[in-house]
Every structure is written in structure tokens, then in C-alpha cells.
Amino acid sequence: MNYPHPSIAREGWPFVGGSLLLALLASAAGFWPSLAFWLAFVFCLQFFRDPARVVAGGPRSVLSPADGRIAVVEEADDPYLNRRALKVSVFMNVFNVHSNRSPIEGIVRQKWYSPGAFLNASLNKASAENERCALHLRTPDDRDVTCVQVAGLIARRILNYVEAGTSLAAGQRYGFIRFGSRVDVYLPLDVRVKVVIGERVLASSSVLAELG
């Protein structure tokens, strides 16, 4: 297992606590007036759940950085490292766990934050137009991986807790995106892909590819 933590992500404590307080206060007025607040509380509980995960694979495995479905597997330009790469994108809807975890063991070489729009994260153009935060990760054997958090249609906050020079273990938790989004991973072209479009994946527990 990786990253011991509460089962509710710390990023969600204000939302869970606030919605519970409002639901309790509304209950004093009766069941029907409070129903919407109780539904909001239940939504916050499920959205901010953050279960511990088994870290899959071996030293050359590229793990899924997020829960969701594979939306893209294609050769593309990596706009951060100016190279051709194999792009794998994981789309998260509001019912997925939204913690983000490192796909590999490595050092953060550089970090980029780009403000932008809030298009539907399932659209491929969201990678270039939406708010996003990218990390350049380098493995111990000098392979380069770019991992990009992309905000979605109703996502309004990307949280990223690492900076250049940070060492990350494979599967280590490094960020969170609130309320629907995607994560793009740009890999060397010689990787062996292990997933297909539409496949459901779990952060840290699913292997996206094997480095050559």
C-alpha cells in the first residue's frame, strides 16, 4: 500500500464538514427542506473518498496517475518536452476518486502551470486549452515522462503539492483535482502499451505501459 491517509481526502474536509453542518441545520425545518443538503453531503462523501491503493507493476511500469477511463492512446506532440511521444489520457468523471499519484519513480525536473478554459475534459482539445499543471518526471535510468493534470467542465481547482527537485515514489500521492477532470501522460515512443481506449483504470493499481 502507498500513502497512509484518512479515507476522506483532506482536500474535502471543508466541503464534507460544511455540507453536514448545513444538512443538520436544515433538518430542524423538517425532512423535505433538508433533503437537498443531505444529498449534497452524500455527494461530497463519495467525491472526496480516498482509499489506499496497492502499487502495481515493477520498476519499469508506468502506473495510472488517476482513476477513470482511458480516453486517448495515440502518438502526439509533447508540448512540454518538445518531442514526439505516446499520449495516454485518463478521464475522471465526478464519481471517480480524484487523488492523483505519480505514474513512475523519479525526480520532478520541472513544473508548469497554465491558466485556461474549463471545457469538457473528455474533449481532446482540453489538453491544450484548459487550465492545467504539468510535471516533467525523470526515472532513475533517465527516461522522461510528462504528467499533466487538466481541469474539466466544472473543475475549478487543480492542487499540486510538488516542485522541481522533489523525489516521488511510484504511486505516491502528489495532487488532487476538484469536480471532474483528466490526466494526460506523455511517454517515450518505445513503451509497450497495456491499456485500450474505454478501459477502466485505478490510480497506482493499473499499469498503463512498460518502459522499453
Residue 155 has pLDDT above 60, yes or no: no
Residue among 68, 45, 53, 64 nearest 3 (CA): 53
Helices (H) and strands (E) in the chain, counts: 3, 14
Of 64, 181, 205, 206, catalytic = 181
* Residue 138 CB contacts under 8 Å (≥ 6 apart), including other chains: 106, 107, 109, 144, 145
Lookup: cell for 207: 499499469
Instruction: Work out the mean pLDDT of the chain and round it to a whole number.
Output: 88
Render 64-91 in DSSP notation, one character per residue.
-SSSEEEEEEEEEEETTTTEEEEEEEEE
User: At 150, which helix (H) or strand (E)?
Assistant: strand 144-151
Counted residue by residue, the chain has a size of 212
* Residue 73 CB contacts under 8 Å (≥ 6 apart), including other chains: 86, 87, 88, 193, 195, 196, 197
pTM for the whole thing?
Answer: 0.84
Distance, in Å, from the CA atom of 23 to the CA atom of 60, rounded to the nearest integer, reads: 48
**Known active-site residue 181:** yes
Best mean pLDDT range from 10-19, 32-41, 78-87: 78-87
Distance, in Å, from the CA atom of 157 to the CA atom of 176, rounded to the nearest integer, reads: 8
Residue-wise pLDDT tens digits, 59-118: 999 999 999 999 999 999 999 999 999 999 999 988 888 889 999 999 999 999 988 666
User: Which amino acid makes up residue 91?
Assistant: F
Estimate to the nearest angstrom the gap between the alpha carbon of 3 and the chain centroid: 15
User: Residue 140: what pLDDT?
Assistant: 95
Beta-strand relationship, 207-210 and 192-193 = antiparallel
Question: What φ, ψ does residue 207 adopt, rounded to 5°?
Answer: -95, 125
Does residue 25 contact residue 175 with C-beta atoms inside 8 Å?
A: no
Region of 76 on the Ramachandran plot (φ > 0 left; ψ -120 to 50 alpha; else beta): beta
Lookup: cell for 197: 481506449
Distance, in Å, from the CA atom of 56 to the CA atom of 71, rounded to the nearest integer, reads: 21
Residue 144 has pLDDT above 90, yes or no: yes
